[in-house]
Amino acid sequence: MSKKIIAGNWKQNGTYKSSMSLAERIISSIHEDKHKHEIILFPPSLYLLSIQGLQKKKKVKLGSQNVSAYKNGAYTGEISASMLRDMKIDYCLVGHSERRHVLNETEKILSDKVSRLFENNINIIYCIGETLREYRQKKTKLVLRRQINRLIKSNQEYIKKQPKKIVIAYEPVWAIGTGLVPTLTELASIFNFIRCTIDKEDTKYSSIKVLYGGSVTPDNAASLMETSHMDGLLVGGASLISKKFIDICSTI
Ligand code: PGA
């Protein structure tokens, strides 16, 4: 059975001191012999290397919350995919709803970011999800199909060669940071739909994992993970509290 993924997205939170101690507590809670999941932390970029230095043996993987859509050059303030590769960062998030909706990233920007990451051999967690309005209008599947197709079509050559480099995270925008989560019946239907939409494109795409994100807590993690075709969780708020994140990892 392939490994489940538990990812913690710390967003723009914490200080150097609090981030180091959070990472330390999470890393020390992982006992390799019994650890069956792949754990990925997404701290603020400034702290990535210090956190990387905490691990003698690699127990957790590290990811960047963002990457430039451009190759190296005159793009003040940006961090490129080749810099992430240079520093041995394993993963990068693309398409998170905060970047789509607050920072106005377009599909073109997201697809360029995916290309840059493939060029540099970095794994991608690509977020998709409907807004509250789309949910209320019962457009969830329509939106998800469009987002998945755009991702696959725009980077088809890369994805065909290395489908395993892409992980899709379904995060309903209305569930992020709100305490709301879809019902288990809704999730069963949506995960089945996402799986079929991906697999229909190419038989090789069955290796693309699909995560759920949005108000995951230690209390709901185990029941969420009973959803068929759910390969893991992307945790926001609860990943900032070591006990909660460790509990989520151990309940699965
Ligand atoms: P949340 O965030 O767990 O705080 O809802 C999830 C995310 O934004 O990835």
Confidence of residue 241 (pLDDT cuts 50, 70, 90): very high
Q: Is 234 in the pocket of ligand 1 (CB under 6 A)?
A: yes
Q: What is the pTM of this model?
A: 0.97
Report phi then psi at 76, rounded to 5: -50, 130
Sign of the CA dihedral running 75, 168, 84, 173: positive
Which of 45, 50, 35, 56 is closest to 9 using CA atoms?
45
Of the chain, the percentage scoring pLDDT greater than 90 comes to 94
Q: Are the beta carbons of 64 and 93 closer than 8 angstroms?
A: yes
Q: 38: helix, coil or strand?
A: strand
- Give the type of residue at 130: E
211 DSSP β-pair partners: 169
Q: Is 213 in the pocket of ligand 1 (CB under 6 A)?
A: yes
- 171 catalytic? Reply is yes
Q: Which entry of 38, 98, 105, 171 is annotated as an active-site residue?
A: 171
6 DSSP β-pair partners: 39, 233
Please provide the average confidence, as pLDDT, over all residues in the chain. 96
Q: Is 235 in the pocket of ligand 1 (CB under 6 A)?
A: yes
**DSSP state, residue 100:** I
pLDDT tens string 32-59: 655 679 999 999 999 999 999 999 888 9
